[in-house]
Structure 1
Amino acid sequence: MRMLINVPETVVADGLRGMAAAHPDLVVDVDNRVVVRRDAPVAGKVGLVSGGGSGHEPLHAGFVGPGMLSAACPGEVFTSPVPDQMVRAAAAVDSGSGVLFVVKNYTGDVLNFDMAAELAEDEGVQVARVLVDDDVAVADSTFTAGRRGTGATLFVEKIAGALADEGAPLERVEAMARRVNESARSFGVALSSVTTPAKGTPTFDLPPGELELGIGIHGEPGRERRPMMTSGEIADVAVHAVLEDLRPAGPVLVLVNGMGATPLLELYGFNAEVQRVLSERGVTVARTLVGNYVTSLDMAGCSVTLCQVDEEMVRLWDAPVQTPALRWGR
């Protein structure tokens, strides 16, 4: 195992200490594993809280800041955060306008966020929950009942976060988050396995010269394995799978996402192929984001997320955002 770590047991805490040193605009509670924007709670503003297992950076802590999340709860690597973290986060960001939990559809995340919502409400915090389940590859896979939550999480957090920053009430922010999730679909591809610090070896066997179509962000099985394909062939398969399920009737946001170990040069080349397929299918692209945003540690590979948008959603996407991993308009 060759990793830039001290010991596997402290990898999350070490990462959070480094984040605190790099981003003084965040309040990073290393012991309790909660990351909060420094100006929280903001009067009259709905708080947005998300979280999940570490190893998917910059998701979620990298999206904390004005225009996006109010707080994030990082769990251990590929392990759900616990309800106490979520309750602390909700209390830290609640201004009296309520808190929205954005939850990826993994069994541990769902159970713990549900429990946290009940505990927070017992303490007088109004909580709404939105489940992200955008992966079209498989249903009822490892870790999940139903579809997995993947790249659409970024779209939900950005668009709902912008609306919350405008002072919209909780019901409207929740409705927008649900609309974004319902309008988004994703499909991922693995070119290599993922290696967790605790295990130190690849979590699954992917022989040389093969790839896995429809992989999950924890290394869960996909739809099928095939001999290695070109970037254009992968784009054909991935975009087709998304469009067959989404069937957009209007313009789309595009996220071409790296799984952690794919160079940006390759991702931009892959984006060229994704744009080609969309053009051939007559799909209009409103905005495109390319980079490593919803990752799986050291996995090589990519995912494509499309979200059908209207004028309001594009306006909220374009609204200013100032987080460690996503920033524009300021």
Structure 2
Amino acid sequence: MKKFINHVDDFLAESLAGFAAAHGDLVVLNREPVFVRRKDLKPGKVALISGGGSGHEPLHSGFVGHGMLDAACPGQIFTSPTPDQMMAAAKAVDTGSGVLFIVKNYSGDLMNFEMASEMSEVPNAMVLINDDVAVENSSYTTGRRGVAGAVIVEKLVGSLAESGASLDECKAFGDRINKRTASMGVAFSSCTVPAAGTLTFKIGDDEIEVGVGIHGEPGRRRAKFASADTIAAELLTAIVDDLKPPAGAGLLVLVNGLGGTPLGELYLLFNSTRAWLEKRDLKIARVQVGALTTSLEMAGASITLCMLDEQMTKHWDSAVHTPALRWGL
């Protein structure tokens, strides 16, 4: 294992210290319990909190700031944060209108966020992200997994919250976005969790894992390596079969790198995606390409489609200023 690391047990603390120092104009790091919060809180705004195991950066800490999250609770690598982190974060960022928890559907995350929701004295609600169409159940989840669709939910609901919407309005919007969003990924290689020091799974040089989860969970099938066009077609067929967008529907397309794939390859994958959608009269309204929901150094990518409407398009285009996403300011 070759990684920039001093001591395995200090990996998360040192990484967060560097993150907070690099983005001190935007975020503040709370060390006990650990969470990252927005530096400048907006009085009277519904606060958005997300979190999960580390190793998926920039998700979620990288999306703390204007127009997205008010706080993020990072756990150890691929390990859920604890309820005390979530409750402390909620207390720190609530400015009078309550807190919306945005949670990816993994058993540990869901259990701990539900505990925090029940025990917190801050009024709160929850949006559950389950955009992964690859498998219905795995050892990590009951139901579909939450993956890169979380970025879209956090951006759109974050914008709505900035506009002064209520907690109930933010939750309803988040639930609606989640229902209109679907994702699927593919892995070319495994990743290595620092504490383990070994590959999470083994895969042949000529193989790919179709439908892989962001922790290295098995997907739909192990297949032989294929062209970008072929891979994009399989992922998109599953996504479109799930979403069933009408012809001419405006789609937000997110091509997401899993950590070890160069940006040039991601743009090539988007080109394959664009061609596939255009042949089926499916309109691309907005595009985002980059490594936003990663799995350490795993090589591979995911494709996410979100069926936009006028309200959702407005909130995607609105100003955002976070360490990982920024435009319009």
TM-score range for the pair, normalised by the shorter chain length? over 0.9
Partner of 1:111: 111
Q: CA RMSD in A?
A: 0.7
Aligned-pair distance for 1:30?
3.1
- Show structure 1 runs of 5+ residues with no match: none
Moved over 2 A (4+): none
Looking at structure 2, the residues matched to 85 and 22 of structure 1 have their Cα atoms a distance apart, in angstroms, of 22
Give the match for residue 38 of structure 2: 37
1:134-283 mapped onto 2 (5 Å cutoff): 134-249=131-246, 250-283=249-282
Q: Give the counterpart letter for 1:199 in structure 2.
A: A
2:33 paired with 1:5: no
Q: Is the 8 A contact 1:13 1:31 kept in 2?
A: no
Contact 1:51 1:73 in 2 (8 A): yes
Could you tell me how far apart the structure 2 residues matched to 1:32 and 1:23 are?
Answer: 20
* Corresponding residue SS for 1:97: coil
Which consecutive unaligned segments of at least 5 residues does structure 2 have? none
Give SS of 1:102's match.
Answer: strand
Distance in structure 2 (CA, Å) of the matches to 1:279 and 1:193: 32
When normalised by structure 2's length, the TM-score is: 0.98
- List aligned pairs for 1:61-100, cutoff 5 A: 61-100=61-100
Contact in 2 for aligned 1:103/1:130 (Cα 8 Å): yes
Contact 1:17 1:30 in 2 (8 A): no
Counterpart-to-counterpart distance in 2, 1:317 and 1:89: 25
Distance 2:269 2:124 in 1: 39
1:261–1:300: 8 Å Cα contact kept in structure 2? yes
Q: Distance in 1 between matches of 2:204 and 2:197?
A: 18
- In the alignment of these two chains, the number of paired residues is 326
SS at match of 1:285: strand
Partner of 1:286: 285
Structure 1 residue 63: Cα displacement: 0.2
Q: Structure 1, residues 74-127: CA drift from partner, whole Å, max 9, x if none?
A: 00000000000000110111111010000000000000000001111xx2x110
Question: The residue matched to 2:79 in structure 1 has which SS?
Answer: coil
Give, in angstroms, the shift of residue 278 of structure 1.
0.7
Q: In structure 2, what is the Cα distance between the partners aligned to 1:94 and 1:30? A: 18
Corresponding residue number in structure 2 for 1:28: 29
TM-score, length of structure 1 as denominator length: 0.98
CA distance in 2, matches of 1:92, 1:167: 19
Following TM superposition, by how much is the alpha carbon of 1:31 offset from its aligned partner in structure 2, in angstroms?
Answer: 3.7
What residue in structure 2 maps to residue 315 of structure 1?
314
Aligned twin of 1:47: 47
Instruction: Please give the secondary structure, in 2, of the residue aligned with 1:276.
Output: helix
Q: Is the 8 A contact 1:194 1:203 kept in 2?
A: yes
Higher mean Cα deviation, 59-68 or 199-208? 199-208
Tell me, in whole angstroms, the C-alpha distance in 2 between the residues paired with 1:18 and 1:29: 13
Instruction: Report Cα offsets for 1:120-164 as digits up to 9, x if no partner.
Output: 1xx2x1100010001000011121000000011001000000000
The structural deviation recorded for 1:272 is 0.3
